[in-house]
A = this chain, B = another copy of it.
Amino acid sequence: MNCELCEQAGGDIIWQDDRLRVVAVADPHYPAYYRLIWQAHVKEMTDLPRADRDWLMRAVFAVEAAIRAVARPDKINIASLGNMVQHVHVHVIGRWTEDRHFPNAVWGEVRRPDAVPAVVDQVRLAAVIRQALDALQATGG
């Protein structure tokens, strides 16, 4: 079985431990878009033991908090779909009311083909995400 998230990182890895990695998604329309990818091949969240799910979700919320603090989006979107790549991963996306799809999901119809992406200091955001995940890890999640 070929799984693209088993074979490739799926983006620039900005933090990882033995259970999950956080990658920055290179989407020109979405400057505050991260994916948390479970390192092992698991299809559904409920295939994970509860402690692992808790760890994944706490990491998701640490990324959400970092995006809010640094990029100040109008809304956060979180989703775990996996229809195309059936390997647990969670999208965490900063959204702006004037972005390409708002208020649609980023998987929905484009509303503003010429939307100008928000300006986000991605270097600082990645650093804040790393700090937050180091801190979470230090407290055992």
What residues make up the interface of A, taking CB atoms closer than 8 Å to B?
Answer: 43-46, 50, 53-54, 57-58, 61, 64-65, 68, 75-84, 86, 95, 102-105, 107-109
Taking CB atoms, residues of chain B closer than 8 Å to A107 are 104-105, 107-108
Whole-angstrom distance from the CB of A73 to the nearest CB of chain B?
10
Tell me whether A79 and B81 are in contact (CB under 8 A): yes
Tell me whether A64 and B81 are in contact (CB under 8 A): no
Taking CB atoms, residues of chain B closer than 8 Å to A103 are 83-84
Tell me whether B65 and A83 are in contact (CB under 8 A): no
- Report the Cα distance A81→B80, complex, angstroms: 11
Chain A binding surface, main DSSP class: mixed
Tell me whether B75 and A46 are in contact (CB under 8 A): no
Q: Which of B45, B64, B84 contacts A45 (CB 8 A)?
A: B64
Tell me whether A61 and B78 are in contact (CB under 8 A): no
Tell me whether B75 and A77 are in contact (CB under 8 A): no
Q: List 20 A-B contacts (CB under 8 A).
A: A45-B61, A45-B76, A45-B78, A46-B64, A50-B58, A54-B54, A57-B57, A75-B83, A75-B86, A77-B79, A77-B80, A78-B80, A78-B81, A79-B79, A79-B80, A79-B81, A79-B105, A84-B103, A105-B105, A107-B108
